[in-house]
Amino acid sequence: MSPKQFDVKNQICLDFIVVHGQDYHGAGWAHNGGLPVELTLRDDGRLGIDPIEELSTLRKQQLADISNQSVRSANEQLRGIEGDTVEIAVEFGDSDATKLGVAVRESSDEEERTLFSSAPFSQLSRLNRHF
């Protein structure tokens, strides 16, 4: 269970996410202390989870802004972007694809990578670390 805090003055509920790893012995890490998020109740009654506003102070130079591009074109524009801490915001448009995702931390031989993927109609997201 992750620690939570309620800011009475601003009426904000914060959650400090902790991700526990299972196969971490060969990866060089055991757990991930996630970013603090704000929990809200959306107009449609669903839970809203958004990074806290204060995280915007950590943002530096924008490395890419890609809209209405094919996967091939987007990949070409993203090639060469590197970093240990990079914020990625992705919104996929209408597609006939059965699986959508983003691969990060991929080695040049494609033997190692982390894949965030989602099946559009299943409301199921996955994180898969290949090493």
pTM: 0.58
pLDDT in tens, 30-79: 555 667 888 888 899 988 888 888 888 988 889 999 988 888 998 899 88
Q: What is the overall mean pLDDT for the chain? A: 77
3-state secondary structure string across the chain: CCCEEEECCCCEEEEEEEEECCCCCCCCCCEEEEEEEEEEECCCCCEEEEECHHHHHHCCCCCCCCCCCCHHHHHHHHCCCCCCCCCCCCCCCCCCCCCEEEEECCCCCCCCEEEEEEECCCCEEEEEEEC
Where residue 108 falls among pLDDT bands split at 50, 70, 90?
confident
